Amino acid sequence: MKVLFVNVIDQKSAVQSRYYPLSFAYLVSYAEKHGCHFDYCYVESLDQKVLLKHLPDVVALTCITENYDRALLYAELAKKFNPEIVVVVGGIHISSVPNSLSSCMDAGVLGEGEQTFLELANNNFVPDDSINGLVYWKNSVLCFTGERGLIEPLDSIPHPKRNIFGSTVKAPYLFTSRGCSYRCSFCSSSRFWKKTRFHSAEYIFEEIKELIASGCSHINVYDDCFPLDIDRVRRVAELVKDLNVTFSLSIRANLVSDEMAMLLKKMHVVEVGMGLESNSDRILKLLNKGNTSVDNQRAIDVLRLHGFRVHCSFIHVPSETLEDKAATYNFIKRNGLAGHHDFYALMRFPNTPLYDGSTDWAACKVKNFSEVGFVGRLFRKMFRFLRFFG
């Protein structure tokens, strides 16, 4: 059977189009490891011309919540083109809201997808109750199979087969873990992965060598938080210290220390990103961030002392007071972060405490997405003045 993998993105968005979805590359490598082979191709948009070119038996979609409406349109298009096409959707949105499976979609893969997709492929992509981790339609009734357990150990998943994306070059990246140990109230990642699992340093080292052999000289480590296990960081740094490659990665402010900074330098990390979200302790507590304004400043000071480029991201919470805003504004200005920061509007994603009510959503004073978008854009415009007058 021929599988058409579709990354459902807004191609006009630089953020969404920057990377390939390694999820598809993991599905293929895991299936092939277990003796399951099928034809496949990859696209980032779907129309009748694409369907005519590839004539797929299966259309496999992955998307985030913001793009789910587009995924619904793609599913409908595929079924109109050929009702026999099997449409499968995976990713964080369908995993968080499985009841949103469209009647044009045959099955949704919930949570970690490698084993579920393998079993689905071995069953000629016909969903049934014997395959855990699915939501699917049976006689117009939405059915849920048993919950799929997580794959252990994580190293049993082979390196992703990146050549499925063709010859087009995009920013190279890798994952060295799945999950996050922190429970920020706005983030769905820790809920999706259930718990944190790590690849071994040796697994990471071999994947890095593969990327270097393909021509990469800089790699982004795309973990939620790479330095969670400092012993593993020590092993990785020792293994890669003699490689001709540099890295960028993300870290939490409360995990920054001189020792961690020295290990990252040994590893050839040149840029560090931090999701600080705010420099108001009241807002940080509301978001259950797990760090304080003191942590934020100390992290900036330590990273700058060791010569890293630092990029920070922040979230606008509509209930912020002028004092809250001033704390963040002054932090950005004081630390010379103009041009080295991003601002995002707080969004209420499914399967998070902000969505299900276990966090005081009313305290955030966000009524709907349109309000979030308007206020967020307004707030970001204010910070753009820093580039000119900061």
Determine the straight-line distance between the first and last CA of the chain, rounded to whole angstroms.
58
In sequence order, which residues have a C-beta less than 8 Å from that of residue 61 and are 6 or more positions away? Answer: 6, 8, 71, 74, 75, 87, 88, 89, 90, 91, 105
Q: Across the chain, which distance is largest between two alpha carbons, in Å?
A: 63
pLDDT of 364 above 70: no
Q: What is the pLDDT of residues 28-41, one digit of tens each?
A: 999 999 999 999 99
- Residue 89 pLDDT level (bands cut at 50, 70, 90): very high
Q: What are phi and psi of 82, to 5 degrees?
A: -160, 105
Quote the tokens at residue 113: 């997808």
Q: What is the pLDDT of residues 106-152, one digit of tens each?
A: 999 999 999 999 999 999 999 999 999 999 999 999 999 999 999 99
**Rounded CA gap, 179 and 92, in Å?**
13
- Residue 370 pLDDT level (bands cut at 50, 70, 90): very low
For the chain, domains (ranges, CATH) are 2-144 (3.40.50.280), 171-389 (3.20.20.70)
Q: What are phi and psi of 127, to 5 degrees?
A: -70, 145
Instruction: Give the residue carrying structure tokens 């990273």.
Output: 303
* DSSP characters over 271-299: EEEEEEE-S-HHHHHHTT-S--HHHHHHH
Residue 1 CA to chain centroid, in angstroms?
Answer: 29
Query: CB 384: neighbour CB atoms within 10 A?
Result: 13
Of 186, 27, 184, 8, the C-alpha closest to 120 is 27
What percentage of the chain exceeds 90 in pLDDT?
A: 80
pLDDT of 376 above 50: no
Q: pTM of the entire structure?
A: 0.90
Q: What is the pLDDT of residues 277-324, one digit of tens each?
A: 999 999 999 999 999 999 999 999 999 999 999 999 999 998 899 999
Q: What is the pLDDT of residues 250-280, one digit of tens each?
A: 999 999 999 999 999 999 999 999 999 999 9
The answer to whether the peptide bond before residue 153 is cis (omega within 30 degrees of 0) is yes
Helix (H, G, I), strand (E, B) or coil at 76: helix
What is the pairing mode between strands 246-250 and 269-277? parallel
pLDDT of 377 above 60: no
